[in-house]
Homo-oligomer: A and B are copies of this chain.
Amino acid sequence: MDDIEVETLEEPTLRDPVLIEGLPGVGHVGKLAAEHLLEEFESETVARVYSDEFPPQVGVDDDGVTSLACAEFHAVETDERDLLVLTGDHQAQSHSGHYHLTDAFLDLAASFDVGGIYALGGVPTGELVEEPDVLGAVNDADTVEELTDAGVEFREGEPAGGIVGVSGLLLGLGERRDLSGACLMGETSGYLVDPTSAQAVLEVLETVLGFEVGYDSLEERAEEMKEVAEKIQEMQNQQQGMPTDDDLRYIG
């Protein structure tokens, strides 16, 4: 087995496609957003990426059937441009693995003639946010204006510490390939899975890429999370201290 193996399932010709990345991360904002696109639009899975950088693990579905840890690329047709949506349940296990996986993702994106990258994620604020803003970072200064017009905020010194992982490297390694990329980060507490923040990120994407999606399912899930958050705040009032990451990461 090679360190990274790409399994190509379909080779559709995409119309002026962009890469949308939504792997697990802060508040699962990027993952929720990318998966919402797959729920709302018709999509086909075009490739899977397997790697010794993913956990040595199979998932087991409700019928007892296993599937090897992987990342998946899906083709989505929208009114103006096609989307190549990258999803998965895992990040790389090592620093160098992030580099090599991202490189493989960019190779695959290039094979579909992708013309731009949108890496979706969350930025932790440390407190519950009712109306999350979307922060931006880009590898090409020329795109700041368009994103600002779409409601993205560019703030000095944010995100503090830069952008780590595949989202950051898609921009960094993408730039080395002359591929324009933006990271769209929804504000989120960092404590809870955050469908509201995912919606905020998608609303920016709608404006920039000219598609429209419904949000009923995300809003429903946000409602559930709000109840979870309220219960936690009650608990806090009775007890003391903020819940730890570990308490909350798995809620939702």
A172 to B67, CA, bound (A): 6
Contact A95 B56 (CB under 8 A): yes
Contact B103 A165 (CB under 8 A): no
Contact A168 B57 (CB under 8 A): yes
Number of copies of this chain in the oligomer? 4
Q: Give residues of chain A (145-166) contacting chain B, Cβ–Cβ below 8 Å.
A: 154-159, 162-166
The one of B3, B7, B56, B162 that contacts A57, using a Cβ cutoff of 8 Å: B162
A140 to chain B, nearest CB (A): 8
A150 to chain B, nearest CB (A): 14
Q: Is A109 in the interface zone, CB < 8 Å from B?
A: no
Judged by DSSP, the binding face of A is mixed
Most buried by B among A1, A140, A156: A1
A21 to chain B, nearest CB (A): 14
> Knowing that A1-B173, A56-B102, A57-B168 are A-B contacts, what are 7 other residue pairs whose CB atoms are under 8 Å apart, sorted by A's residue number?
A52-B98, A56-B164, A57-B165, A58-B137, A65-B138, A68-B171, A68-B172
The one of B60, B62, B158 that contacts A163, using a Cβ cutoff of 8 Å: B60
Interface size class of A (residues with CB under 8 A): 35 or more
Q: Give residues of chain A (167-214) contacting chain B, Cβ–Cβ below 8 Å.
A: 168-169, 171-173, 175-176, 183
The one of B3, B56, B164 that contacts A98, using a Cβ cutoff of 8 Å: B56
Residues of B contacting A137 with CB < 8 Å? 58, 60, 64-66
Residues of B contacting A100 with CB < 8 Å? 1, 52
Interface code A88-113, partner B: CB below 8 Å = 1, 0 otherwise? 00001101101110110000000000
Q: Is A83 in the interface zone, CB < 8 Å from B?
A: no
Q: Is A50 in the interface zone, CB < 8 Å from B?
A: yes
